[in-house]
Every structure is written in C-alpha cells, then in structure tokens.
Amino acid sequence: MSRIVVAGGAGFLGTHLCQALLARGDEVVAVDNLVTGSKRNIDLLADRSGFSFELVDVIDGVAIDGPVDAVMNLASPASPADFAVMPIQILQVGSTGTKNLLDLALAKNARFFQSSTSEVYGDPEEHPQTESYWGHVNPIGPRSVYDEAKRFGEALTMAYHRTHGVDVRMVRIFNTYGPYMRPDDGRVVSNFINQALLGKPLTVYGDGSQTRSFCYATDEIAGFLAVLDSDHVGPINVGNPTEFTVLELARTVLEITGSRSEITFVDLPTDDPTQRCPDITLARTLGWEPKADLRWGVEQTTAWFQSQLDGSG
C-alpha cells in the first residue's frame, strides 16, 4: 500500500485515478481547487476508506502532513474551451503549480508522476507520433497556453530529476473520454453525446476530416498505473491508437444514441491539429494495451451522461 497525492483529484481523469488507486488498496489524498474539478466527484469518494480531500490551489503551494510515496500531477484545465477562458491560470498551474508539486515530491522523497499531453506535439508533422518527435507547436497561438505550459512541465520535471534526483515518471495523454467529463467541458465527445441526447445539432468544427484517437478513461488510467509502477522515466504515450475522423465520431454518436439530431458544420478553431494518433510501442512494453473500442466506450459514456440528465446518476 502506498500513500499517493493526486493533484487535480476532483477532475475527470483525477476521479478515475483516485478510484483505481483506492481499488488497489492505496491511500489517496486528493487536492483540487475545484475550478474545473467537481465537488460532486469528491462526494462520490468521500466515505471510501483511505480517501481524503484538500481544497488547495497548487499554484499557492501544497503542504501535506505525513509520509507521501507518490505525487501525481493531473492539475490543469485541459479542454480547448478552457484555454480561451483562463489562459493565464493554465500557464500558472503548468509552471508554478508543477514546481510546487515537484517540491513536495522532493521534500517527501516521493515519486513524481507528470501527466503531460499529446498537445506537446502541436499540429504534428510526423504521424503517428512517437515519443522522440519534438513537436510542431505555435508558441503564441490560443492553444499555446496549455501546450507550452505542458512542455515547460516536462522540462521542469526532467530538471528536478537531473538536478535533485527526483524519481519521476511522465505520460503523454491523448484524447480521452468517459464518465465524469463535464457536460459543458467543450470537448468533442462530451459535446456530441450531450447534443445528441438533447436533440440539438452536433457541431462539427471545420469539415470534420481532422482525426483524433479516443481512449476510454479506465484504459487510460490502467496505462498511468503501468507507467507509475514501471522503471521508465518516460515520457510515454498513453492513448488508443485507433484513429477516427471527427465526422466518423459524430455519425457513431448519432447511431448509438438513436438521435435525430442533424450535423452542422462550424468554423474550425485556430491551430486545431489536423491529425493525432499515438505510437504506443513503448507503453506496450509495460504490458499495457487499451481494451475498449469506440462504440463500447461511447455507449458507456452515453449511459452516464443520460443518468446525469435524468438525475439518476
């Protein structure tokens, strides 16, 4: 059993991670400022043995009493919709917030786990993306607040590893979806499912030919744990390598929900990556492989969003 601090523990992936750690018998201290995380997610876990929650903004510093075996950094707004609303906060949490969590790991002699992102590859000119690809990021565009914060986070993590000998692990997360996403999160899977359930038009940005590779949340978390428990510093891509166009996703959502919603085409956001697909050769060497296919995952996620809409969830 380990005692693990999960920063961003009330968020979409944070909630799945806390559940998985508790299920394997770890003690979890979730910290979150609840800006994009939800108190409701914390309430789900509140009475589980081994779970505690601290309302903390990691930008202000993190003090945790007692021993800590690992610090896992999932703290950041992560939807392109958030990039426009809180750009400076995203830069702060990716820089100062990450530094404060690295300092906590250093002080506690704990392992540090950095959740980085496929956004470090920007609009990639190599396809699929391997970890050795350095990326193609517009440093001043609207996405740069997240992309560059996460690139800085990787650099800072490596600097603490090299300078202070902190034991670090890094994953690069590709598009992930599932229960506990915010319905108004603005990302494509949550948008399409909620639009379909509410009979509203599905908003395809651009002509929908851009691709993404969608990983179901529990698969993603299994990948995190494989990396956390491994000897690889990383970074390691963790995502599902099956690629779909956004238009294919829209049609899949319509089929699964049985919705009569129309598809409507709206302007493509600035710097929207044209294609994205992880090369997961490295992650596979840890014995990890995503299991859920898109149809099954969209079915599960639809059932969860439906339960939120009708109040039964």
161 binds ligand UDP (CB under 6 A): no
CB 62, CB 101: distance < 8 Å: yes
Total Cβ atoms within 10 A of residue 280: 25
Distance CA 128, CA 306 (A): 34
In this complex, which beta carbon is closest to ligand UDP, that of residue 89 or of residue 100? 89
Binding mask 179-198 for ligand UDP (x = CB under 6 A): --------xx--x-------
The reply on whether position 204 binds ligand UDP by CB under 6 A is yes
Site residues (CB under 6 A) for ligand UDP, limited to 67-86: 79-80
Binding-site size, ligand UDP (CB under 6 A): 14
Q: How many residues would you count in the chain?
A: 313
Q: CA 91 to CA 19: how far, in whole Å? A: 28
Residue selected from 246, 292, 294, 298 as contacting ligand UDP according to rule CB under 6 A = 246
Q: Residue 121 catalytic?
A: no
Q: Does 36 bind ligand UDP (CB under 6 A)?
A: no
Per 3-state DSSP, the chain is made up of helix, strand and coil in percentages (nearest 5) of: 40, 20, 40
Catalytic one of 121, 133, 146, 160: 146
Q: Decide: is 243 part of the binding site for ligand UDP (CB under 6 A).
A: no
If one asks whether residue 3 binds ligand UDP (CB under 6 A), the answer comes out as no
Q: Does 294 bind ligand UDP (CB under 6 A)?
A: no
Minimum distance between the CB of residue 208 and ligand UDP, rounded to whole angstroms?
Answer: 6
| Phi, psi (deg, nearest 5) at residue 239 | -170, 175
Among residues 228 and 263, whose Cβ is nearest to ligand UDP? 263
Closest C-alpha among 209, 178, 183, 208 to residue 196: 183
DSSP code per residue over 227-286: HHTSS--S-EEES---EEEHHHHHHHHHHHHT--PPEEEEPPPTT--S---B--HHHHTT
Contacts with 231 (C-beta within 8 Å, 6 or more apart), sequence order: none
Least Å from the CB of residue 267 to ligand UDP: 9
Residue 276 CB, shortest distance to ligand UDP, in Å, is 6
Task: Decide whether 26 or 154 has the Cβ nearer to ligand UDP.
Answer: 154
Quick note: the x/- pattern for ligand UDP over 123-152, rule CB under 6 A, is ------------------------------
- Say if residue 142 is exposed, middle or buried (CB neighbours under 10 Å; 0-12, 13-18, 19+): middle
Residue owning tokens 């914060």: 149
**Active-site residue numbers?**
146
The contact set with ligand UDP (CB under 6 A) reads: 79-80, 175, 187-188, 191, 203-205, 210, 212, 246, 269, 272
